[in-house]
């Protein structure tokens, strides 16, 4: 199929025609390409609005954006939860539940490094370089599929068991910015920062938020983003904020009240408290409004 390797969107639904050929195969009529066969892997579930053709790992895929016409599910009435995204554990919740997955095996990491070194030595435009690039693409696609599977699995579990999921409103683009600097102002600990950037991007933080918002629509769960400032340094028990509270990556010990907890669980509790305060004031962002919750009146 002679199409561009970059993603190509077709915004006009009148230009798209989809028909089913048999149980396993279908065909779609794309502008400028005509009829293209594809493997029918799941029901469309609605009216097709546009299609995206892309190439990933040496394979061609087509994705349909459909309008299912279903309203958002009613609130499920489940308890809220705060979620802390990390590097050691991809997800840690305020109730102590954590989830992580090995995305790259030691053998795959060794092979990935060897292929990258081989690619750097090969001449640009050569056939051997193209073969090496194809091998790298297939390996990276396998790793990317595992990351997507982790995010979708976690989002499905959280939105089914909780009615409100609170996450930090992180600026991941700035967090993973290159720290090399310039000749006049060189960066500090550049190699350590590069390793941290790879670890953050490897966990798929942004992909997790998208999966939560998508799954929450069908399971009656709301997703709220809160200001991430000082959530890892504040004690969830007494509210004391100090950098000394964080003894290590995993240990949180408050210097004021002596509260001992896992550092990620403590941060998730602070995230949950901030999310409940935001929703109580009617806000849906990290900013706080001047509104206050109505006073509680006791019934005689």
Q: What is the pLDDT of residue 13?
A: 57
Hey, how many other C-beta atoms are within 10 angstroms of the C-beta on 129?
Answer: 16
d(CA 145, CA 162): 26
- Name residues whose C-beta falls within 8 Å of residue 155's C-beta, 6 or more positions apart in sequence: 208, 211, 212, 214, 215, 216
The low-confidence residues of the chain, meaning pLDDT below 70, are 1-14, 181-185, 279-300
Return the active site residues. 84, 168, 264
Q: What is the pLDDT of residue 280?
A: 61
What is the DSSP annotation of 158-185? HHHH-SEEEEE---HHHHT----B-SSS
Which of 40, 86, 97 is CA-nearest to residue 208? 86
Q: What is the pLDDT of residue 227?
A: 92
Q: What is the pLDDT of residue 288?
A: 43
Rg (CA), the chain: 24
What are 48-88's pLDDT values in tens digits? 888 889 888 888 999 998 888 888 889 999 999 999 999 99
Q: CA geometry: angle at 93 spanning 100 and 258, to 5°? A: 115
Residue 91 DSSP label: E
> What predicted TM-score, i.e. pTM, was given to this entire model?
0.80
What are 235-264's pLDDT values in tens digits? 999 999 999 999 888 899 999 999 999 999
Q: What is the pLDDT of residue 14?
A: 64
């Amino acid at each position: 199929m002679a199409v561009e390797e970059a993603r190509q969107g077709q915004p006009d639904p009148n230009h798209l025609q989809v028909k089913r050929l048999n149980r396993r195969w279908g065909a779609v009529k794309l502008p400028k390409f005509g009829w293209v066969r594809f493997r029918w892997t799941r029901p469309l579930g609605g009216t097709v609005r546009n299609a995206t053709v892309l190439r990933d790992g040496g394979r061609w895929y087509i994705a349909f954006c459909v309008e299912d016409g279903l309203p958002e599910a009613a609130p499920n009435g489940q308890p809220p939860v705060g979620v802390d995204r990390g590097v050691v554990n991809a997800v840690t919740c305020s109730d102590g539940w954590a989830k992580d997955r090995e995305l790259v095996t030691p053998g795959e990491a060794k092979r990935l490094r060897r292929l990258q070194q081989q690619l750097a030595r090969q001449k640009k435009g050569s056939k051997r370089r193209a073969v090496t690039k194809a091998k790298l693409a297939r390996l990276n696609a396998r790793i990317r599929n595992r990351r997507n599977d982790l995010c979708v699995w976690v989002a499905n579990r959280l939105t089914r068991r909780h009615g409100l999921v609170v996450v930090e409103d992180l600026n991941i683009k700035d967090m993973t910015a290159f720290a090399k600097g310039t000749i006049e102002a060189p960066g500090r600990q550049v190699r350590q920062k590069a390793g941290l950037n790879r670890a953050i991007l490897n966990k798929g933080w942004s992909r997790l938020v998208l999966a939560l918002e998508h799954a929450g629509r069908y399971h009656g769960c709301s997703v709220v983003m809160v200001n991430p400032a000082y959530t890892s340094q504040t004690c969830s028990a007494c509210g004391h904020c100090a950098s000394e509270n964080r003894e290590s990556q995993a240990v949180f010990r408050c210097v004021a009240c002596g509260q001992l907890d896992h550092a990620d669980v403590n941060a998730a509790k602070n995230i949950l408290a901030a999310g409940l305060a935001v929703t109580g004031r009617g806000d849906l962002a990290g900013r706080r409004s001047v509104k206050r919750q109505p006073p509680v009146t006791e019934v005689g």
